[in-house]
Amino acid sequence: MSVIKRPESKVLIRFPDCDPFNHLNNSRYIDYFINAREDHLYLNYQFNIYQYAQEKLLSWVVAQNQIAYLRPAMLMEKVIIQTHVLKFTQRDILVEMTMWDLQKKTLKSIIWTTFTHYNFKTMKSEIHSQELIDKFKPLEDPLEREMSFEERVKKVRAGGFSPEQI
């Protein structure tokens, strides 16, 4: 059985999340992305981050977000959100998340989020356990070459990419 490295889900853009122009509010993009990633972890990898936090007193905190808004997501529009791990290190996970129209022809937004593994007892970052490395390192799906977020956005804006190619 092959590992799904780029899970995706369909999401409906809701009224309370939109601005007066019926666009998804900028701050709400992050919520949609984080919720989708949480769903993908549970549905595709059978990993419940809340159960993990309760049992181990460990979790991940968002250390950094870099987001580009390319096209508006509109009120009551169905979109597809894809997520994948660009880099998995001793303490951090860099996840790229993209939002597409339903036909996956128009990229609406792209975000890079760095999650730091965190210990609630010590209130400090924590090295990933071997169990986590075994579970998540195989999901790593790096870019063809290392680049900055700005370079990535420039490349994506140049166009001609399908969701599987970017």
Structural domain boundaries in the chain: 8-157
- 103-124: per-residue pLDDT in tens? 999 999 999 999 999 999 999 9
Only one residue has tokens 């990535």, namely 152
∠ CA 86-26-10, nearest 5°, is 60
Rounded to two decimals, the pTM is 0.94
Residue 75, Cα to own-chain centre: how many angstroms?
Answer: 21
Spell out the CATH class of 8-157: alpha beta
Cα 143 to Cα 140: distance, rounded to the nearest angstrom = 10
Contact in structure between 86 and 112 (CB atoms under 8 Å): yes
At 66, the amino acid letter reads: Q
Contact in structure between 116 and 92 (CB atoms under 8 Å): yes
| Strand runs labelled E in 40-119 | 58-69, 78-88, 92-101, 107-119
How distant, in Å, are the alpha carbons of 96, 104, 106, 166 from that of 156? 13, 14, 11, 7
- At 101, list the tokens: 């129209």
- 18-38: per-residue pLDDT in tens? 999 999 999 999 999 999 999
pLDDT values of the chain reduced to their tens digit, one per residue, 166 residues: 578 999 999 999 999 999 999 999 999 999 999 999 999 999 999 999 999 999 999 999 999 999 999 999 999 999 999 999 999 999 999 999 999 999 999 999 999 999 999 999 999 999 999 999 999 999 999 999 999 999 999 988 887 565 666 6
Q: What is the DSSP letter of 23?
A: B
